[in-house]
Chain A
Amino acid sequence: MASWRTEPERVAGTWPAYRQVSPRWPPLYHAAGEPIPSQSAGRWHASGQGYAQYLALEPLGAWAELVRYEGIRDAERAAQYRRRLWLVFVRERDIADLSTFERFAACGLDPALAIGPHTPARALAQELREAGYRGLLAPSAALPGATNLTLFGPRFEKVLLGGLAAWDNPAPDAFVPCSLVAEAGPPAELVTATRFPDMDHEGYLRWFAAQADR
């Protein structure tokens, strides 16, 4: 039995999203033929249990994930990074819309799942996969106000110079069109704007305060 009281809304649509990646690797995560999936664990999947494509709907959201993961707390360190920022044009269906803390609460789910410890978040992601969802929208733990889009499973990139929205995708379950935006490092202002695991999340606190006022 799933942990939600009401099933999250299933949405379909198109989302221009962003993802920063090592220059040595392709824009999306795929590793065909691996005996055990090698992708490092993230909020919505555990290591060894399949793959996930972690995307952000805002470019600063993508950079903030790097800043948070790497623990980059000063401008000197931020200036040392070289990453490729990709525009990923997602056309998907069966995405769980948990894009706000209100939407988590409306389903009977703890909104802290979006920003707190990973273990319960991974359990929710597993329930979503078992219920046939292909991904989820959720608030970014790294950057209050930003939204992450996570797709479950491997995807393969079709790298284009432009025209991503118009590309006639021959295998939508496998391919996602991508275009290189920049090869750069995280903007210095994210050193202070990013929320690290030992910090409060203003977006969550605002939601929490609003509940108390009701």
Chain B
Amino acid sequence: MEVAATTKVAPDARIAAVEALLATPLPGARAQREAWYTRLEDAILALVRALPEGGDDYDAGRMFEFSVALRRAIEAAPDDADPDGAIALAALMVGDVVRRVGRRLEHDTLDDPRAAADFVFAALPAAGASDLGRLLGVSTKTVGAWRAGRPVTRHADRVVLVAQVLTHLRASMTPRGVLLWFDGPRAQLGGRTPLELLDEDGPAAAREPLTALARGLRGQLAD
């Protein structure tokens, strides 16, 4: 499907609009359901237009696919009912894709080292320059310069990686917990701490194991 890309409205605002509609209880009457679906479809189209690749984005295709399934389920269901759960299921599947797009765009934003540094400082507001310097692999003086808005040129890969790991951690723990997480020995890293891995192997080698470790926090695993 050809959808023109635009950057006029931030995609995260579009994502929030789709998620808000998906969180709304589905109306019972057919006419109201169809009106709800039309609003959802408009919001999805607006989101797709806001994506850098527009309709060519892989997940844009999945959103269209699942929204078509949702429309068909609404058309097939009687008033006030979802007898086989198809409406609820399709809505959850649209939600999965929208959530994934949101996370991808967040990570893309953090590929910019300056944005990544700002993200780290905002996520760890009470952390001192010493703790931040250890985390980012720079001196307290450099932390001060970055906090003052100076360009992030040194250790940019490490700053980006730390910020992206933080996106996985911060919902599950306090800012203090994040700092402790980087200093906790991990069986998955052969007994090393995440910080030791970063210091000893560098951000390129640490990216995959640290990201996998942090992503595992999404939900319970049997270890």
Give A contacts to B, CB under 8 Å: 19-35, 38-44, 47, 54-56, 62, 65-66, 68-73, 76-77, 80-83, 138, 140-142, 148, 150, 156, 158, 169-171, 174-175, 196-198
By a CB distance below 8 angstroms, the chain A residues around B66 are: 32-33
With A33-B93, A34-B100, A38-B215 known as contacts, the answer to whether A82 contacts B59 (CB < 8 A) is no
Whole-angstrom distance from the CB of B48 to the nearest CB of chain A? 14
What 7 additional pairs, Cβ within 8 angstroms, besides A22-B218, A32-B62, A73-B184? A21-B219, A25-B218, A28-B219, A30-B96, A33-B62, A76-B180, A174-B89
A33 touches B97 (CB 8 A): yes
Complex alpha-carbon distance, A81 and B173, angstroms: 4
Complex alpha-carbon distance, A198 and B85, angstroms: 45
By a CB distance below 8 angstroms, the chain A residues around B173 are: 80-82
Whole-angstrom distance from the CB of A95 to the nearest CB of chain B? 15
B172 touches A158 (CB 8 A): no
CB of B171 closer than 8 Å to a CB of A: yes
**Residue among A40, A77, A81 with the highest chain B CB neighbour number at 10 A:** A40
CB of B125 closer than 8 Å to a CB of A: no
Of A20, A44, A141, which one neighbours B220 at CB under 8 angstroms?
A: A20
9 A-B residue pairs with Cβ-Cβ distance under 8 Å, sorted by A, are A22-B218, A25-B171, A27-B219, A68-B223, A77-B177, A83-B172, A170-B83, A171-B84, A175-B85
With A22-B219, A40-B216, A170-B83 known as contacts, the answer to whether A32 contacts B93 (CB < 8 A) is yes
Complex alpha-carbon distance, A42 and B100, angstroms: 21
With A80-B180, A174-B89 known as contacts, the answer to whether A141 contacts B82 (CB < 8 A) is no
Give B contacts to A, CB under 8 Å: 58-59, 62, 65-66, 82-86, 88-89, 92-93, 96-97, 100, 171-174, 176-177, 180-181, 184-187, 212, 215-223
A71 touches B187 (CB 8 A): yes
B171 touches A22 (CB 8 A): yes
B96 touches A69 (CB 8 A): no
By a CB distance below 8 angstroms, the chain B residues around A83 are: 172
Complex alpha-carbon distance, A112 and B186, angstroms: 22
Complex alpha-carbon distance, A81 and B189, angstroms: 21
**Residue among B65, B93, B97, B222 with the highest chain A CB neighbour number at 10 A:** B222
By a CB distance below 8 angstroms, the chain A residues around B219 are: 19-22, 25, 27-29, 54
Of B96, B181, B218, B223, which one neighbours A141 at CB under 8 angstroms?
A: B223
A33 touches B59 (CB 8 A): yes
Whole-angstrom distance from the CB of B105 to the nearest CB of chain A? 15
Q: Whose C-beta in chain A lies nearest to the C-beta of B58? A: A35
B96 touches A171 (CB 8 A): no
By a CB distance below 8 angstroms, the chain A residues around B62 are: 32-33
A196 touches B187 (CB 8 A): yes
By a CB distance below 8 angstroms, the chain B residues around A71 are: 184-187
Complex alpha-carbon distance, A153 and B62, angstroms: 19
B171 touches A77 (CB 8 A): no
Q: Whose C-beta in chain A lies nearest to the C-beta of B183? A: A77
A66 touches B220 (CB 8 A): yes
B220 touches A19 (CB 8 A): yes
Of B65, B85, B93, B177, which one neighbours A171 at CB under 8 angstroms?
A: B85
With A40-B215, A54-B219 known as contacts, the answer to whether A32 contacts B96 (CB < 8 A) is yes
Complex alpha-carbon distance, A22 and B65, angstroms: 28
A22 touches B223 (CB 8 A): no
By a CB distance below 8 angstroms, the chain A residues around B172 are: 22-24, 81-83
Whole-angstrom distance from the CB of B79 to the nearest CB of chain A? 16
Q: Whose C-beta in chain A lies nearest to the C-beta of B167? A: A24
With A83-B172, A198-B187 known as contacts, the answer to whether A65 contacts B180 (CB < 8 A) is no
